[in-house]
Amino acid sequence: MERVHSLRMMSIFLLLHCLIIMSLFIAATTANTSSTITDRDALLALKAHITHDPTNFLAKNWNTSTPVCNWTGVACDIHSHRVTVLNISSLNLRGTIPSQLGNLSSLQSLNLSCNRLSGSIPSAIFTIYTLKNVSLGKNQLSGEIPTNICSNLPFLEFLSLSPNMFHGGIPSTLSNCTYLRILSLAYNDFSGAIPREIGNLTKLKVLYIGANRLQGEIPREFGNLTELEQFSLPTNNLQGIILNFLQFYSSSACFCIHSFVH
Ligand SMILES: *[C@@H]1O[C@H](CO)[C@@H](O)[C@H](O)[C@H]1NC(C)=O
Ligand SMILES: *[C@@H]1O[C@H](CO)[C@@H](O)[C@H](O)[C@H]1NC(C)=O
Ligand SMILES: *[C@@H]1O[C@H](CO)[C@@H](O)[C@H](O)[C@H]1NC(C)=O
Ligand SMILES: *[C@@H]1O[C@H](CO)[C@@H](O)[C@H](O)[C@H]1NC(C)=O
Ligand SMILES: *[C@@H]1O[C@H](CO)[C@@H](O)[C@H](O)[C@H]1NC(C)=O
Ligand SMILES: *[C@@H]1O[C@H](CO)[C@@H](O)[C@H](O)[C@H]1NC(C)=O
Ligand SMILES: *[C@@H]1O[C@H](CO)[C@@H](O)[C@H](O)[C@H]1NC(C)=O
Ligand SMILES: *[C@@H]1O[C@H](CO)[C@@H](O)[C@H](O)[C@H]1NC(C)=O
Ligand SMILES: *[C@@H]1O[C@H](CO)[C@@H](O)[C@H](O)[C@H]1NC(C)=O
Ligand SMILES: CC(=O)N[C@H]1CO[C@H](CO)[C@@H](O)[C@@H]1O
């Protein structure tokens, strides 16, 4: 009698154990499915905004028969299955950037560089709190940088917009992206003064703002940028600017340089 009782207790215990493990497993695999669907829809919106894809990269690799995390150029967090990296650089893609991309709310690295994308950057991109790297260089993008660019990007380390056709002023509020290490705004159509607040970005290692229509003095505060290793500034020494910039591009292997030097 005793034995039967303890056996029964044991099987109830085991059953409970199984139930807990099963529910944990279900929770893990179904967690945030609505977020992963949102990620998929955001990438499908991007695909729909690409008007020309000469290597059929998106047509071949981005389809709903495979999970988003298996798509080429996409990487996900292994636990949440949220998209953390989007790299579709150097594919000669034409088209525009849809605002739905701003729904990739776990994205850390966005690389759309070396394509032929046009239009402006949707402001929704600047609401992705987790962003660290943004490479949009070597496209045909235009518009202004919004003054609230850094309001929701506390972790931004890498911002490259060169070369493109952005205009307007360089916002002084860029200094709120306090972790910026690489800032490349060169080869655009920026005008106005160079904001002294950039001198607050003391982690800057690379600063390219040359080859724009900026005016005035280089702020004294730039003397505070003690980590700076490479820079181009709007001086008369255009040769120097190009040299620095070429070095940057050859070291970062974006082999699409010829077309804009000419
Ligand atoms: C869907 O994409 C996968 C690779 O991610 C590819 O192997 C497969 O052929 C594609 N299917 C269609 C119908 O294009
Ligand atoms: C997606 O990728 C994972 C890991 O690389 C692999 O195990 C799985 O079979 C892939 N799924 C499909 C549908 O291709
Ligand atoms: C990004 O994509 C380009 C072109 O497909 C590739 O050469 C490069 O290695 C990729 N970078 C990363 C960090 O995956
Ligand atoms: C995604 O972004 C678009 C445009 O920014 C928005 O209209 C939509 O409601 C967002 N949410 C989802 C879940 O797709
Ligand atoms: C951001 O870019 C830097 C330099 O290319 C790289 O070392 C780093 O791993 C990237 N971070 C992410 C989150 O992709
Ligand atoms: C920039 O940061 C300061 C101090 O943290 C804050 O008061 C200000 O509102 C921020 N401005 C923007 C545009 O993000
Ligand atoms: C940034 O720099 C400006 C001018 O150089 C200064 O007035 C301001 O206090 C600084 N802001 C922060 C948050 O360090
Ligand atoms: C930055 O530079 C300015 C002017 O050169 C100086 O007055 C200020 O104290 C410096 N700030 C820091 C934080 O080093
Ligand atoms: C983005 O891709 C280009 C070309 O593949 C590369 O040179 C650049 O370093 C990448 N940006 C980041 C932040 O990794
Ligand atoms: C279990 C899990 O990953 N939950 C996350 C789902 O997504 C929301 C918003 O992105 C997060 O706040 C949760 O932590």
Q: Each residue of 141-152: pLDDT tens digit?
A: 999 999 999 999
- pLDDT tens by residue, 108-122: 999 999 999 999 999
User: From the alpha carbon of 109, which atom of ligand 3 is closest?
Assistant: 13
Question: Quick one: 3 and 52 in the same domain?
Answer: no
DSSP state of 151: T
Question: Quick one: 4 and 115 in the same domain?
Answer: no
Question: Quick one: 48 and 154 in the same domain?
Answer: yes
Question: Quick one: 12 and 89 in the same domain?
Answer: no
Instruction: Give dist(CA 86, CA 84) in Å, integer.
Output: 7
Question: Quick one: 152 and 138 in the same domain?
Answer: yes
- Asked if residue 74 lies in contact with residue 83, where contact means CB atoms within 8 angstroms, the answer is yes
236-255 mean pLDDT: 44
Q: Name the residue range of residue 50's domain.
A: 34-261
User: From the alpha carbon of 196, which atom of ligand 7 is closest?
Assistant: 5
Question: Quick one: 62 and 13 in the same domain?
Answer: no
User: From the alpha carbon of 122, which atom of ligand 4 is closest?
Assistant: 5
Does the beta carbon of 109 sit less than 6 angstroms from any atom of ligand 3? no
Instruction: Give dist(CA 200, CA 194) in Å, integer.
Output: 13
CA dist list (Å): 180 to 78, 115, 189, 203:
27, 24, 22, 6
Question: Quick one: 20 and 77 in the same domain?
Answer: no
With a Cβ cut-off of 6 Å, ligand 5 is lined by 85, 108-109, 132-133, 158
CA–centroid distance, residue 117 to ligand 8 (Å): 39
Q: What is the number of other CB atoms lying within 10 angstroms of the CB of residue 245?
A: 24
Q: Which residues contact 161 (CB under 8 A, 6 or more apart)?
A: 136, 137, 141, 145, 184, 185, 188
* β-pair partners for 159: 134, 183
91-98 mean pLDDT: 98
Domain count across the chain: 2
Please report, for the domain that includes residue 55, its CATH number: 3.80.10.10
- pLDDT tens by residue, 167-217: 999 999 999 999 999 999 999 999 999 999 999 999 999 999 999 999 988
Question: Quick one: 129 and 184 in the same domain?
Answer: yes
Question: Quick one: 71 and 176 in the same domain?
Answer: yes
- Among 56, 58, 63, the mutation site with the greatest number of ligand 1 atoms within 8 A of its Cβ is 63
Question: Quick one: 178 and 59 in the same domain?
Answer: yes
pLDDT score recorded for residue 20: 59
pLDDT score recorded for residue 6: 65
Question: Quick one: 19 and 70 in the same domain?
Answer: no
Q: What is the number of other CB atoms lying within 10 angstroms of the CB of residue 102?
A: 18
Q: Whose CA is nearest to atom 1 of ligand 1?
A: 63
Whole-prediction pTM value? 0.82
Question: Quick one: 11 and 76 in the same domain?
Answer: no
